[in-house]
């Protein structure tokens, strides 16, 4: 069984003491590739260092997380943009919008997100979208001149079947993680209606740990629990979920031949 973790922050301090063991456990559980989304200017170097430690296994993205978008976001974006040729990035992200904790910079978040979409078009890369409490806004933005011009994934999707239908109708994937294992997540109906062909799986490690490990630090080896839950919902087996979602990920991020 081959799995792809399409979203994990292995460069964060949570993994400082045992990163080698975390990577080994992931490989032992069938994970063949881990994609690392960037957070901000300060995380770029640590992320690239991890990718250098595990070449071909950990692959980087370039982006500014929406919660890192403040008044000075243009300076941050300009600095990141200068790094576009410094590594072989597989995606633009993590970008998007977030209205969960603070909406004081929501306009800047939208402007930053649009800039990331332009990068994705210019660099011919998929975009990894963070959409906490902003899914409808982001769908509207994508329909405003971007639909059909950029592909990507709605990371940590937890929306409705109607939103999922709109997203997949634009050619985007749904990123399904540990939340699918939580009671009353509502994702079972989404998965049944959407089908595996529109899904990739992720951990968002060290966050959003799936049952039965909930309460502990998340890591890429726990992808097996996410695949298992999706298999249960889809009335298939985990190997089929692994094969389909890995194929989806390899196609979206153009990983074949890496």
* Tens-digit pLDDT profile for residues 56-98: 999 999 999 999 999 999 999 999 999 888 789 999 999 999 9
Per-residue pLDDT, 119:
96
Cβ-based neighbours of 22, under 8 Å, separated by 6 or more? 10, 15, 219, 220, 221
In CATH, what is the architecture of 3-252?
A: Alpha-Beta Barrel (3.20)
Average pLDDT, the chain: 96
Q: Is 75 exposed, middle or buried (0-12, 13-18, 19+ CB in 10 A)?
A: exposed
**3-state SS, residue 45:** helix
Q: Which residue has the tokens 């409808």?
A: 136
- The answer for 103, left when phi > 0, alpha when psi is -120 to 50, beta otherwise, is alpha
Q: What digits encode the pLDDT tens for the residues 8-34?
A: 999 999 999 999 999 999 999 999 999
What's the pLDDT band for 258 if we cut at 50, 70, 90? low
Name the band, by pLDDT with cuts 50, 70 and 90, for residue 257: low
pLDDT (0 to 100) of residue 116: 98
Q: In the chain, what is the greatest distance between 2 CA atoms, to the nearest angstrom?
A: 49
Mean pLDDT, residues 199-224? 98
pLDDT for position 101: 87
- Sorted by where each begins, the domain ranges of the chain are 3-252
Residue 256: predicted pLDDT: 84
């Amino acid at each position: 069984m081959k799995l792809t973790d399409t979203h994990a922050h292995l460069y964060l301090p949570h993994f400082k003491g045992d990163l080698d063991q975390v990577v080994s456990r992931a490989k032992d559980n069938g994970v063949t590739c881990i994609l690392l989304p960037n957070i901000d200017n300060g995380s770029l170097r640590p992320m690239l260092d991890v990718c250098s430690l595990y070449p071909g296994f950990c692959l980087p993205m370039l982006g500014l997380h929406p919660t890192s978008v403040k008044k000075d976001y243009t300076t941050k974006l300009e600095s990141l943009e200068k790094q576009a040729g410094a590594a072989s990035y597989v995606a633009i992200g993590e970008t998007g919008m977030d209205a969960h904790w603070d909406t004081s910079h929501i306009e800047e978040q939208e402007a930053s997100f649009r800039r990331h979409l332009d990068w994705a078009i210019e660099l011919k890369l998929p975009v990894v979208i963070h959409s906490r409490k902003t899914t409808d806004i982001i769908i509207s933005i994508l329909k405003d001149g971007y639909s059909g011009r950029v592909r990507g994934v709605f990371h940590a999707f937890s929306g409705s079947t109607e939103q999922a239908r709109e997203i997949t109708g634009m050619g985007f994937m749904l990123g399904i993680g540990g939340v699918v294992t939580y009671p009353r997540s509502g994702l079972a109906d989404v998965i049944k209606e959407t089908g595996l062909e529109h899904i990739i799986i992720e951990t968002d490690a060290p966050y959003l740990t799936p049952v039965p490990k909930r309460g502990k630090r998340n890591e890429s080896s726990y992808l097996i629990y996410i695949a298992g839950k999706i298999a249960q919902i889809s009335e298939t087996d985990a190997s089929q979920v692994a094969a389909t979602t890995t194929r989806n990920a390899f196609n979206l991020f153009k990983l074949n031949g890496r």
